[in-house]
């Protein structure tokens, strides 16, 4: 074996440049800083989402010669009043109907032909879960007060973003220059349109589906129409699976009351789903961001896995934002 052949078998020396080392160090430091301020980043992201949703309304008010800051305060006040009135109107009957459902559950199970043994076990399990609700409510209330500063921070961020939205282009031009400012302005406008349209469309769809279920169940004389309608509206955010899951307890209660009522409730849920698919979605969501249902399901699953309820809230908006930024990046490179 020659000298050259021996050199080929010898391990080669790997050289790492100073630039690579410096870049790696700064990259790791950046990741560490992002982790430290992750709460602030989340709050700012939620503020951006609120800004995207409310900006068209604020802009319309400003056209009537109302200062933007006053317009934001008006909208904030109206939304707070609406939220307070809605909670005050829903919570008492919701608690009463839920308690009534627990008391009547053995009768529903008996009417469905479930044996008394399994019926008692199901009731005991449900009561044990319900028994922990006060503790969960207390814990949730404490968490709200403990995170009150974060809620205020989000609202303050959104307030300043909405108030200074018209001056954003000038401020960006000072830091980025005219050309980059125009490019970034287009991205921000597109993000605002797609995020705002998706959020407003989704909220409207959830509200309409919940209202349709409530009025339909009330007309049929189905007990516990309010919690069933709230469940249907809330699960509307989950494509395909959500409406099916929401229909199960309604149909269960219907058949637990009478066979005819069960058929009527099943027909109602089917009718609402058809109206949703062929009327509501094309009309309400025609200007929506166009997120594929499969992508929505994956985003919700990943978001819930990573950050729980907050992850559910921001998962689809994050997917929309990443899609817009990715598209802009590849278009700018071509």
Note the pLDDT tens digit of each residue in 223-268.
888 888 888 888 888 777 888 888 888 888 888 888 898 899 999 9
Q: Does residue 171 share a domain with residue 105? A: no
Under a CB-based contact definition with an 8 Å cutoff, are residues 273 and 206 in contact?
Answer: no
Instruction: Report which of 231, 205, 202 is spatially closest to residue 90, judged by C-alpha positions.
Output: 231
Residue 63: DSSP 8-state: T
d(CA 85, CA 321) in angstroms, rounded, equals: 33
Q: Does residue 173 share a domain with residue 154? A: no
Q: Does residue 120 share a domain with residue 231? A: no
pTM above 0.75, yes or no: no
Q: Up-side HSE of residue 212: CA atoms within 13 Å toward CB? A: 23
What is the structure's pLDDT at 288?
A: 58
What is the structure's pLDDT at 271?
A: 92
d(CA 281, CA 264) in angstroms, rounded, equals: 24
d(CA 199, CA 303) in angstroms, rounded, equals: 17
Asked whether residue 322 is domain-assigned, the answer is no
Asked whether residue 143 is domain-assigned, the answer is yes
Residue ending a domain, among 142, 163, 184, is 163
Asked whether residue 145 is domain-assigned, the answer is yes
Residue ending a domain, among 147, 163, 179, is 163
Q: Does residue 183 share a domain with residue 149? A: no
pLDDT band, residue 177 (cuts 50/70/90): low
Q: Does residue 214 share a domain with residue 256? A: yes
Distances (CA, A) of 134 to 90, 201, 231: 18, 34, 20
Q: Does residue 280 share a domain with residue 220? A: yes
- Residues spanned by the domain of 64: 39-163
What is the structure's pLDDT at 60?
A: 83
What is the structure's pLDDT at 134?
A: 47
Distances (CA, A) of 279 to 226, 274, 327: 23, 8, 30
Residue ending a domain, among 271, 290, 309, is 290
Please tell me the total count of domains within the chain.
2
Q: Which two tokens stand for residue 203?
A: 């909220």
How many C-beta atoms surround the C-beta of residue 181 within 10 A?
A: 18
User: Among residues of the chain, what percentage have pLDDT more than 70?
Assistant: 73
Q: Which two tokens stand for residue 263?
A: 């058929």
Asked whether residue 34 is domain-assigned, the answer is no
What is the structure's pLDDT at 162?
A: 83
Q: Does residue 179 share a domain with residue 149? A: no
Asked whether residue 296 is domain-assigned, the answer is no
């Amino acid at each position: 074996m020659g000298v050259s052949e021996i050199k080929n078998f010898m391990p080669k020396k790997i050289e790492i440049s100073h630039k690579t080392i410096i870049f790696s160090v700064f990259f790791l430091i950046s990741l560490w800083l992002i982790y430290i301020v992750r709460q602030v980043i989340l709050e700012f992201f939620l503020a951006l989402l609120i800004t995207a949703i409310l900006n068209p309304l604020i802009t319309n008010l400003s056209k009537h010669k109302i200062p933007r800051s006053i317009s934001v305060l008006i909208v904030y006040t109206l939304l707070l009043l609406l939220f307070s009135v809605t909670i005050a109107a829903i919570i008492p009957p919701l608690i009463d109907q839920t308690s009534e459902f627990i008391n009547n559950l053995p009768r529903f199970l008996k009417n469905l032909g479930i044996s008394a043994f399994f019926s008692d076990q199901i009731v005991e399990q449900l009561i044990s879960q319900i028994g922990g609700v006060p503790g969960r409510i207390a814990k949730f209330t404490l968490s709200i007060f403990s995170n009150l500063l974060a809620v205020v921070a989000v609202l303050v961020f959104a307030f300043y973003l909405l108030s200074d939205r018209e001056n954003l282009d000038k401020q960006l031009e000072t830091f980025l220059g005219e050309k980059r400012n125009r490019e970034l302005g287009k991205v921000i406008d597109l993000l605002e349109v797609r995020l705002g349209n998706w959020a407003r469309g989704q909220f409207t769809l959830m509200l309409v589906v919940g209202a349709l279920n409530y009025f339909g169940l009330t007309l049929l004389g189905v007990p516990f129409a309010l919690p069933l309608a709230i469940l249907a509206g809330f699960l509307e955010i989950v494509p395909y699976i959500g409406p099916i899951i929401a229909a199960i307890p309604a149909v269960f209660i219907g058949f637990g009351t009478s066979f005819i009522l069960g058929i009527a409730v099943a027909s109602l849920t089917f009718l609402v789903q058809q109206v949703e698919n062929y009327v509501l979605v094309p009309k309400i969501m025609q200007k929506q961001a166009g997120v594929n249902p499969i992508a929505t399901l994956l985003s919700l699953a990943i978001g819930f896995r990573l950050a729980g309820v907050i992850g559910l809230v921001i998962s689809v908006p994050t997917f929309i934002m990443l899609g817009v930024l990715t598209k802009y990046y590849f278009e700018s490179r071509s």
